[in-house]
Chain A
Amino acid sequence: MMIKMRVNGKSHELDIQPGESLNLILREHLGLTGTKKGCDSGGCGACTVILNGRAVYSCMTYGPKADGGDLLTIEGLSKDGELDTIQRSFAELYAFQCGFCTPGFIMATKALLDSNPQPSDAEIREALVGNLCRCTGYTKIMEAVRGVSKKGG
């Protein structure tokens, strides 16, 4: 079946199988492998992308449901070779080690700060509760998110 999506500002028309997930479409059809395939069951958050302005798990998003959608993935954040402020904050404050979960954390943070530029710690935790990190720990990640919001995102 044919679907249309706008991904990182670019329009795509894709021929997909009806059972494919958005994660598979991004990674296999579009080669956007920055969006990770982690648990593949809606439990780790590594596959988080922004669909129509809201954070979603791409592994849980039934592909055809994204037809007509406007998507932002980790590849769409940097501009002209310059890291986005969230990416820079994660790098400067050492908020990652292996980095596998990082795209998901950054996209969940992006969705949060787009709707709430000055979140409280409780609001940051609430927004990131669906993202798991197994090596950095959450203290540095919290610092990185606070760092962006203090600078005004």
Chain B
Amino acid sequence: MPTFQPKEYLRPSTAEEVTMVLTSREGAVIIGGGTEVYELAERGLLSETTALVDLTGLQLDGIERKGPALEAGASVRLSELEDHDAVKHPSMGAVLDSLRSIHPVQVKNLATIGGAVCSSISFFDLPVGLAALDATVQVFGVGANQRKPRLADFMVDFLTPDLKPGEFVTGVTVEPDAYTTSAFTKFCLTGNDWAMVNCGCSLKVEGGAIASAKVVLGGISSGLVTAHETADGLRGLAAEPGSQFDEPAERLDGELRDVVSDYRASAGYRKKLAKVLLRQALNRALTRERG
């Protein structure tokens, strides 16, 4: 039985205090909604954790529009984001779809945005929805240093976010106006299952054609996959719901390399799923764009 016996539960009230705790106390770990704590502990991954650091005192629980940017704090719960008017615009469809696809509600009521991105698990749904909208992560570090890496770069590997010692995530930013519509789709085996593969796409439609696009997939490799070539190939295509999108699907097939193969699905099966999900996401986004 793995040991998990944290001695302290800390609630700093400033970002500077958080970085001080993280750099001065060995074994101090940030806790988000806490939904993964016991699972990670059961797998022996928290046996060296001596203190959990709760960010509630920093009041990172706001969702607000700042010019073209929409910022959501790290402590915002997934159910709160799903209920917020900010995600109801067609351009935020990929985020809304990803939130609606997460089950059960008992988890959404606890899990936070910060936890979802810092877990750095590519088949989690919200990160794929956010990355489809070019999301950046707000990182606070030692010396009050702040940086904003792209979410797709931030999730380096399985359970490995791009965080240096003393750094932590304060929020996530997207710029919804860069696209006119977006959507998310996934495939899983049961209502509560993790996605085997998931796909988010954002489109800017102008004059009845796709002017620009972004395609992001999860469950394909240990990090998020941004399909640049596929997105480039979408430019200029008619923005017609119901299209087959055969050429973009084949382009995606050629673009996906080093696809993971494990007990849940082979690499080949995942690639086939990715093509189906891309078609579904594109059509869902275009249908949404028509209102």
Contact = CB atoms under 8 A, between A and B. Distances in A.
A21 B39 CA distance: 12
Contacts of A41: 38-39, 42
B35 A1 contact: no
Contact of A55 (B6, B34, B37, B109): B109
B101 to A, nearest CB: 11
Nearest to B46: A19
B109 A65 contact: no
A54 B6 CA distance: 27
Contacts, number: 81
Contacts of A62: 31, 34, 37-38, 52
B236 interface: no
Interface band, chain B: 20 to 34
A60 B110 CA distance: 9
B10 to A, nearest CB: 9
Nearest to A48: B106
A130 B6 contact: no
Contacts of B31: 62, 65
Nearest to A125: B191
Contacts of A32: none
Contact of B191 (A1, A18, A129): A129
Interface string B37-53: 11101100000000110
Given A42-B107, A108-B106, A129-B192, A61 B9 contact: no
B45 to A, nearest CB: 14
Nearest to A60: B35
A129 B6 contact: no
A74 B79 CA distance: 23
Interface string B75-112: 00001000000000000000000000001111101100
Interface string A63-86: 011000000000000000000000
Given A62-B37, A62-B52, A65-B31, A56 B106 contact: yes
B66 interface: no
Contact of B6 (A18, A21, A65, A126): A18
Given A18-B52, A43-B192, A56 B110 contact: yes
A19 B37 CA distance: 9
A17 B109 CA distance: 24
Contact of B9 (A45, A57, A64, A127): A64
Query: Which 10 pairs across A and B sit closest by C-beta, in order of nearness?
Result: A130-B104, A62-B34, A54-B109, A129-B191, A64-B9, A18-B9, A57-B106, A18-B6, A130-B106, A129-B103
Interface of A: 1, 17-19, 21, 40-43, 45, 48, 51, 54-57, 59-62, 64-65, 108, 111, 126-127, 129-131
